[in-house]
Amino acid sequence: MDNEPWQRRAKEAGLTQVTLARLLGRPVNTISRQIRGEHGEVPQHLVAVIVAWEMMTPEQREEWISTTRRACGLS
């Protein structure tokens, strides 16, 4: 992640592009392009996930990941 504002915020919160990709069900290279704003503004869904991640405790983050994976049949 470079020094773009949303990349920086995600990195500072300990949120990797791999985790974003898993949570959103998108390829990592798509997340990479989106978080850099390669095609304009960073998509709202990506911003929402970063903001939510910042608000959560580490335990809440783990629970969110686990719940999302189970809901998608990936456990």
pLDDT above 80 for 7: yes
pLDDT tens-digit map of 47-68: 999 999 999 999 999 999 999 9
What is the band of 46 on the pLDDT scale with cuts at 50, 70, 90? very high
Determine the residue type at 36.
Answer: R
Residue 38 and residue 30: Cα distance in Å, rounded? 10
Residue listed under structure tokens 């503004």:
41
pLDDT tens-digit map of 19-34: 999 999 999 999 999 9
What is the band of 74 on the pLDDT scale with cuts at 50, 70, 90? confident
What average pLDDT does the chain have? Answer: 91
37 backbone φψ class: left, alpha, beta (φ>0; ψ -120 to 50): left
The angle subtended at Cα 6 by Cα 54 and Cα 19, nearest 5°, is 60
